Structure 1
Amino acid sequence: MTSLVAPIITHAETTPDHEALRGPAGSLTYAQLVGEVKAYAGMLAARGVAPGDRILFIGPTLPEFVVGYLGIHAAGAIVVPVNPLCTPAELSYFIDDAGCRLAIAWESLASAARTAASEKGIDFLTLSAGATADADAITDVHDFDDADIAMLLYTSGTTGRPKGAELTTGNLTAAARISGQLSQSTADDRVGTGLPLFHVFGQAAVMLSGLHSGATVSLLPMFTPTSMIDLIVKDQLTIVCGVPTMWNAMLHAPDDTPADAFNHLRLAVSGGASLPLEVSNAFKRRFGCDISEGYGLTETAALGTFSRPGTPSPIGTVGPAVPEVDVEVRGSDGQPVPTGERGEVFIRGPIVMRGYWNRPDATAETIDADGWLSTGDIGEFDEAGNLRIVDRAKELIIRGGYNVYPSEVENALYEHPDIVEVAVVGVPDEHYGEEIAAVIATTPGVTLDAAAVRDWANDRLASYKLPRAVHFVDALPKGPSGKILKRAIDPEPLLAAVVEYRAARNG
């Protein structure tokens, strides 16, 4: 049987009473989880859902999300998980583009989805506490081919309308298997996260991987640094997964965690964005746990490279290619570049998506005839085969003919003890083409000015890399996974800051 539910059924048969999921309202054993998934699938089938149908799905990071997600899959339908914060207009676009026949949304998040479903003339179903299903359970879950689409996950992109990445059953099964192999997870592990489960990281590398391994998965519906620390301590997590802004926030939580509270935590996994060096070092100092960084995309089911536990990769790198996957760094001529040289990162393997839904041109532009996916990221390999992601190709700043990688400037600024968050972006400039701007959030109550920031950077960076524009905010805009959204930063204050800097220099 090829199904995301198949390994969970195996665990339910061999260890039925082992806890599969934990949430604020209680837990589910593997036997209970399989029973609820089959009941949910039965309810969908009774409502006319057929294999291949696309189902819009909205839910928080709770066990009910897992039941609904796997229930849709068990019925043979395609899950279309989306952000609960989407507006009716955005949801209408997803419904139209994917051709959804049903929308399902968590009870307290249902308003926008109900409106969009009504406007588009499709059925709407509330996902309620306990994921109750009022129909007979299916006997057998749907049997997929590896190449069958299991999920459409819409990529936010930087330009144009979102595209649906076609992740197959084979993609997600491979991602779960490989993630488990990398973390060396077993049924004895307790895996936890506050990541949104509609995001590929939370789905593939945490939810599906943990259940594939037979581990107990603890879910936190609303991340705060204190609640994440409490979850690690209360559930004695052995593996925890998050993004850099989460680790950074935990560092700034009240320092009242007992020194031995994290003794059982053997692995912290970071992804979604580059992890600043100082955040990694500070986490190790405070909590006594190394953070292993990985790299992947929605289009690669969250996988690509990973820093192997027990064999730490050099700080600033994201490890070598994961098992079963090939990674290359290529120059502008399309050929692999020598070790230590920079180029675009390409990935090939069983985790690479089938394509973009109804976008043959975009698919052809992204995946070549040999199965290599163009990531749009700039990277370099070291002598040991560890990849360093330098930046997004589209985020590269070219100032006066010099290439400036925002992550390098951000890492230097993160070393400042009073800088909590920072994003470095390029703004248009008549003289240099682009000028470097830093948007900074400081420790509450701390006063920091632009001159002090530039002085700090001047001791650590070449002069052409210094941020001329410095703008302070209470917090940086973030996406649903906690990743800083540079495209949401208002450029007007940055342009004004450049003018102010120039005027001060010329005056």
Structure 2
Amino acid sequence: MATLSLAAILAEPARRHPDRTALVEGDLRLTFKELWQKARAQGAALAKLGVRPGDRVALMAPNTAEFPTAYYAILAAGGVVVPVHLLLSTEEVEHVLRDSGATLLLCHPAQAKTGAAAAEATDVRMVRLGGDGELEALAAATEPLTAYATRDADDPAVVFYTSGTTGVPKGAVLSHFNLVMNATVNAFDANDIRPDDTALGALPLFHAFGQTVSMNSTWRAGATLVLLPRFDAARAIELMVEENVNTFHGVPTMYVGLVAAAEAAAELPELRICISGGASLPVAVLERFEKAFGTPVYEGYGLSETSPTASVNQPDFGTRPGTIGHPLWGVDVEIARADVDDRVELLPVGELGEVVIRGHNVFSGYLGRPEATAEALVDGWFRSGDLGTKDADGFLSIVDRKKDVIIRGGYNVYPREVEEVLMRHPSVGQAAVIGLPDPVHGEEICAVVVAAEDATPDLARTIIEWSKEHLGRHKYPRLVEFTDELPLGPSMKVLKRELRAHYSA
């Protein structure tokens, strides 16, 4: 069996470009050599704490230097990283610790209250990160590891807990091969990342998108990562200007914020690469961003189970707004019949069906859940649960989640299509479209809107009338509800399950 470790993503640039800046966080600047030295010292400390190759170690930290240091320390010691989403309740963190079988929880002081309560309830040892934390102290008194632990390419490297949009979060097991390949192909085949690039690390590193695309792909190319612990659009623009950031990775809500903040900004960064993912980017937002910042946005698509990137708009193929571009190098993305569960039956070009994926990026399964794994991995393909199409030029488009389709009076209505139209209304800041139970039509279409101005009953009527003009008679929303913010899951997708529960009640 071939050996491979995700730790090489940091070890190699430390060997090849030791003095190049790897990480910037506030006033802290670390070269690749310094960062790898810290990670090896912490890796030795973890080994002293009893972490053995294959042990799962939970990591709970924001976008500060503590996260990547501990992440690569776990990998260097041969452990498996279990990133914990920072907005989880104590009970939800308990589920992750129990379900993953974590032997240790590494926790940043900012998360200590929740972390300590969950660790105590599950009898998992918690070790504090940070300047005066236990891990730093132990690392300072320990000789750093001379090299990272040997791992087989197919050994687990990271267990990502899915956002639970369909119920209880499940642990998706990603191998060293999955994650090294995804970082490599993102860096060199899809995006042309260069060693003198500087990327903004604003996406949460505990999530697959931030971890693979922002952190691992950037360092795979030997480029610099500037961390922003808490996303604020105005501060992000300032920081990008200060640090000469030319690469931005974000989710749609971040792009909405940056477009608004650009109007008041004294100076805008000169961006070369902008990548959007995590959820569908409304074309109206993409157009406003490209106009304000003068740079194209490459929208992509992926899931925790696919490392995460499966498909993205790429310069080699040209870009097409409203699509997710073409599959990554070495990955196949096709459209299959959505109503057949026990086999994958591929559909002809242009037909609507379920997005299925195969390639080096597809996970090995859900931890301890053979039935869920068998449902997801069929005939060598991963069934995404998303509905999409592929056109004659090979461009893929996501239409919606299979579970989010609204059936009104026997007609299928795809919320994404309605949301795209709503986002073009000047009074709509954000929109999510859901189906609510209806005695006449089965389901009624409801738009949940974050208004760009004061919400009034008149505004609801205006939006409905406007939608009527731009959508088919079976598609426009009959109900408009206003909210201050939409509920987001760990991957920054809108939790429509929560909206349906709230507004049905």
TM-score (norm 2): 0.94
Q: Which residue of 2 aligns with 1:344?
A: 354
1:62 maps onto 2:69 in alignment: no
CA offsets 1:297-349 (integer angstroms, 9 cap, x no match): 00001111110136532221100111000111012354221211100010000
Q: Which residue of 2 aligns with 1:486?
A: 496
1:88 maps onto 2:90 in alignment: yes
CA offsets 1:205-228 (integer angstroms, 9 cap, x no match): 111111111000111110011111
Rate the CA distance shift 1:9–1:158 in 2: closer, same or farther, 3 A: closer
Bigger CA drift: 483-492 or 457-466? 483-492
Match of 2:443 among 430, 434, 439: 434
Match of 2:164 among 125, 132, 157: 157
Q: Which residue of 2 aligns with 1:40?
A: 42
Alpha-carbon distance in structure 2 between the residues aligned to 1:480 and 1:124:
22
Q: Which amino acid aligns with 1:148?
A: D
Q: Which amino acid aligns with 1:103?
A: L
The 8 Å contact of residues 18 and 30 in structure 1, kept in 2 or not, is answered as yes
Q: Which residue of 1 aligns with 2:199?
A: 191
Alpha-carbon distance in structure 2 between the residues aligned to 1:73 and 1:8:
10
Match of 2:183 among 157, 176, 183: 176
Q: Which residue of 2 aligns with 1:409?
A: 418
CA offsets 1:62-118 (integer angstroms, 9 cap, x no match): 221000011001101111101122222222212211111111110121111112212
Q: Point out where structure 2 has 5 or more consecutive residues left out of the alignment.
A: none
1:276 maps onto 2:282 in alignment: yes
The 8 Å contact of residues 437 and 494 in structure 1, kept in 2 or not, is answered as no
Q: Which amino acid aligns with 1:140?
A: A
The 8 Å contact of residues 210 and 217 in structure 1, kept in 2 or not, is answered as yes
Alpha-carbon distance in structure 2 between the residues aligned to 1:178 and 1:349:
12
Q: Which amino acid aligns with 1:174?
A: M
The 8 Å contact of residues 437 and 504 in structure 2, kept in 1 or not, is answered as no
The 8 Å contact of residues 310 and 328 in structure 2, kept in 1 or not, is answered as yes
SS for the counterpart of 2:326 is coil
Alpha-carbon distance in structure 2 between the residues aligned to 1:466 and 1:412:
9
Alpha-carbon distance in structure 2 between the residues aligned to 1:28 and 1:112:
29
1:301 maps onto 2:311 in alignment: no
SS for the counterpart of 2:14 is helix
Match of 1:378 among 369, 374, 387: 387
1:257 maps onto 2:265 in alignment: yes
Once the two structures are TM-superposed, the CA of residue 60 in structure 1 deviates from its matched residue by 0.3
Q: Which residue of 2 aligns with 1:112?
A: 114
Once the two structures are TM-superposed, the CA of residue 238 in structure 1 deviates from its matched residue by 1.6
Match of 2:371 among 361, 367, 387: 361
Once the two structures are TM-superposed, the CA of residue 453 in structure 1 deviates from its matched residue by 0.4
Bigger CA drift: 10-19 or 238-247? 10-19
Once the two structures are TM-superposed, the CA of residue 406 in structure 1 deviates from its matched residue by 0.3
Alpha-carbon distance in structure 2 between the residues aligned to 1:290 and 1:461:
28
SS for the counterpart of 2:357 is strand
The 8 Å contact of residues 353 and 389 in structure 2, kept in 1 or not, is answered as yes
Question: For 1:214-293, what aligned pairs fall within 5 Å after superposition?
Answer: 214-253=222-261, 255-258=263-266, 261-263=268-270, 265-293=271-299
1:472 maps onto 2:476 in alignment: no
Rate the CA distance shift 1:363–1:446 in 2: closer, same or farther, 3 A: closer
Q: Point out where structure 1 has 5 or more consecutive residues left out of the alignment.
A: 496-507
Once the two structures are TM-superposed, the CA of residue 455 in structure 1 deviates from its matched residue by 1.3
Bigger CA drift: 125-134 or 226-235? 125-134
Once the two structures are TM-superposed, the CA of residue 491 in structure 1 deviates from its matched residue by 4.2
Q: Which residue of 1 aligns with 2:123?
A: 121
SS for the counterpart of 2:470 is coil
Bigger CA drift: 308-317 or 224-233? 308-317
Question: For 1:443-454, what aligned pairs fall within 5 Å after superposition?
Answer: 443-445=452-454, 447=456, 449-454=459-464
Q: Which amino acid aligns with 2:425?
A: H
TM-score (norm 1): 0.94
The 8 Å contact of residues 102 and 123 in structure 1, kept in 2 or not, is answered as yes
CA offsets 1:458-503 (integer angstroms, 9 cap, x no match): 12110110101100112212234433222222645467xxxxxxxx
Q: Percent identity?
A: 40
CA offsets 1:104-158 (integer angstroms, 9 cap, x no match): 1101211111122122222110011487223221111011111100011111223
Q: How many residues align?
A: 492
Once the two structures are TM-superposed, the CA of residue 256 in structure 1 deviates from its matched residue by 2.8
CA RMSD, 1 decimal: 1.7
The 8 Å contact of residues 317 and 326 in structure 2, kept in 1 or not, is answered as no
The 8 Å contact of residues 10 and 72 in structure 2, kept in 1 or not, is answered as no
Match of 1:312 among 315, 318, 325: 318
Alpha-carbon distance in structure 1 between the residues aligned to 2:320 and 2:118:
48
SS for the counterpart of 1:412 is helix
SS for the counterpart of 1:84 is coil
Alpha-carbon distance in structure 1 between the residues aligned to 2:124 and 2:483:
42
Rate the CA distance shift 1:493–1:345 in 2: closer, same or farther, 3 A: closer
Q: Which residue of 2 aligns with 1:103?
A: 105
The 8 Å contact of residues 193 and 242 in structure 1, kept in 2 or not, is answered as no
Q: Which residue of 2 aligns with 1:393?
A: 402
Match of 2:145 among 138, 144, 154: 138
The 8 Å contact of residues 435 and 500 in structure 2, kept in 1 or not, is answered as no
The 8 Å contact of residues 166 and 356 in structure 1, kept in 2 or not, is answered as yes
